[in-house]
Structure 1
Amino acid sequence: MSVCDSGPSTLPRRQLGRYLRDWRTQAGLTIAEASRLMEWGASTLQRLEKGQAERVRTLDIGELCRIYGIPDDLAEGLKGLAQQVAVTSWWHARGDLIPESFDVYAGLEATAQQFRSYQSETVFGLLRTAEYARTLKHLGNPDDSDVEIERRVQSRLQRQALLTRKVAPATADVILHESVLRRVIGGPRVMAAQLRHLADMSTRGNISLRVLPFSAGLPLGVATGPYTVLEFGLDRKGRAVEPPVVYAQWLSGDLYLERGIDVLRYDRAHECLQRHALDFQSTRHLLRQLAKEYAA
């Protein structure tokens, strides 16, 4: 568990800088070359890419997007990130400044090294099967074409490589409420495959998976709602590369918390849920048992 409290949140600007750095690299430009095109000093662009710029102008972001060849829909999302103020709790309302099609969380997830997650509604995103994910995408985006749904599903599956890659895979400590296992998504066949997949993934050394049974009641006395705590590793001096972030998804938007006290509160809640959850072996047994019942 790593908690740091470094003042106002820079998460939106760190994400902005990360996207701009990646696209500059794809465009084949060095910092010096891109800076000259912007008529900036190299240090100005460096601060922007590190999320350390105190003042970010949407006009400048638009020009960088033009230079790097960034598509218009993504450029609008980056301009939206540039307009976010520095706060310790960032509420990202869907379609407010940042287009709904722009996935802020995906960019954050891609750089995380540790995940601690509690899910009470659906399976943790990085552990979903294609059919399970496809069903949820159809339900959540009924107006999207099959091609767009498939694009979203494949994007989700590609992101799962975070946990399955051979070199330095991320670690995940996931607690699923029993209701997740018994809520039928996509029909019995889809559920059987999903639960078998969970059981198989739980045998990996970097994945801890436990089920919080109905019999555990409400360990915290209050409902936490689904959440994920993301950590981004340590530098050579043992300091957090970036502050840990608590992510909570809601119908109308996403909440990101970076205050040390907030991260600590969720870490303590996670420890409490762990104490009341089934152990690893019992969890795996329950998953395989329910998978057989769905398949029957």
Structure 2
Amino acid sequence: MSGSTLPRRQLGRYLRELRMQTGMTIPEVARLAELSSSTIQRFEKGQFPQKIRTADIRELCAVLGADEKMTAALLGLAQQANSKSWYHEYGELIPADFDVYMGLEAAVSVLTTYSPDAVIGLLQTADYARVLTQSGYPDSESDEIDQRVHLRMRRQALITRKRRPATLNVVLGEATLRRIVGNRRVMAAQLKHLADMSTMPNVSIRILPFEAGIPLGDPVGRFIVLEFGKGARGEPHEPPVVYVESFTGDMYLEKQIDVRRYHEAYQAIQHAALDENSSRDLLRQLAREYRA
């Protein structure tokens, strides 16, 4: 992956998915776009030239039948392709409603995350997700809300599928359990769901109790470290990436020093958290209290 960057790999991933949706082969796309098959192969692997020609990306989008939003997003990725770590500001270069992260998540093998205030999407119940979605998109029609919730539920196949499910390591702040989203019935079902999910061999859920204080000395917001598995020789398929979400945009970090610092932060938070069995007991206890 020498010279590769996250925007380049994401650009290649979306081009490959578009081609597969059309059912076309690499030689067919190459002929229509007037590029060589080897060039298309390199593009799909994220191995673009140092200077990406936006005209090539625009032509590929046309050949692959990409809609206006997808075309704009891929052109935006191409313009940011040289950034090793980058900040995706909503509405800048890439359309605000184009979810770059979802394409990244689909390829992951291990997710390590800390969330101090809310249950992460991969562990939400449909009712919990619906309350958050309605709050986040107050002007949306019910059909659009249903679609967003359905998509979030579909994403959970990443950890529940039978064949090679991703590993999920999570620490949730106790505030996540105490803050009522929706009502007590929604919370009871959500906490029971967390306890049940924590029994899966590929899912680890720990709770950071209030009494643990602030393990790092400074408050830390939600972050996710994504890892993409290793090849036969033990080399990573792709470099790990740290994803930090904010209200106005997303930060993607892949410099080794940044990834290492977030791994160390997670280890410190995990060390201060309850163990898995105690966390599961607390979840079941609070679920019963909410039901009562």
Unaligned runs of 5+ in 1: 1-5
1:12 aligns with 2:25: no
SS across alignment from 2:250: strand
Please report how far the alpha carbon of residue 58 of structure 1 lies from its aligned counterpart in structure 2 after TM superposition.
Answer: 2.6
Report the residue type matching 2:16 in the other structure: R
Alignment CA distance shift 1:206-1:154 (3 Å): same
- The partner residue of 2:114 within 107, 111, 118 is 118
Aligned to 1:27: 22
Report the residue type matching 1:34 in the other structure: V
Please report how far the alpha carbon of residue 9 of structure 1 lies from its aligned counterpart in structure 2 after TM superposition.
Answer: 6.1
Aligned to 2:69: 73
Structure 1 residues 1-296: aligned runs within 5 Å: 10-54=5-49, 55-296=51-292
Please report how far the alpha carbon of residue 135 of structure 1 lies from its aligned counterpart in structure 2 after TM superposition.
Answer: 1.0
| Preserved CA contact (<8 Å) 2:7 2:83 | no
| Preserved CA contact (<8 Å) 2:6 2:85 | no
Unaligned runs of 5+ in 2: none
Q: Report which stretch shifted further, 71-80 or 219-228.
A: 71-80
| Preserved CA contact (<8 Å) 1:162 1:169 | yes
| Preserved CA contact (<8 Å) 1:8 1:87 | no
Write the distance in 2 (CA, Å) between the matches of 1:121 and 1:75: 35
Please report how far the alpha carbon of residue 159 of structure 1 lies from its aligned counterpart in structure 2 after TM superposition.
Answer: 0.8
Query: TM-score scaled by structure 2?
Result: 0.96
SS across alignment from 1:157: helix
SS across alignment from 2:40: helix
Query: TM-score scaled by structure 1?
Result: 0.95
SS across alignment from 2:225: strand
Identity %: 55
SS across alignment from 1:239: coil
Please report how far the alpha carbon of residue 153 of structure 1 lies from its aligned counterpart in structure 2 after TM superposition.
Answer: 1.0
Please report how far the alpha carbon of residue 7 of structure 1 lies from its aligned counterpart in structure 2 after TM superposition.
Answer: 7.4
Deviation by residue 1:188-214 (Cα, 9 ceiling, x = unmatched): 111111000000000000000000000
SS across alignment from 1:196: helix
Report the residue type matching 2:177 in the other structure: L
After superposing on structure 2, the runs of 4+ consecutive aligned residues of structure 1 that deviate more than 4 Å are: 6-9
Write the distance in 1 (CA, Å) between the matches of 2:162 and 2:261: 33
How many pairs align?
291
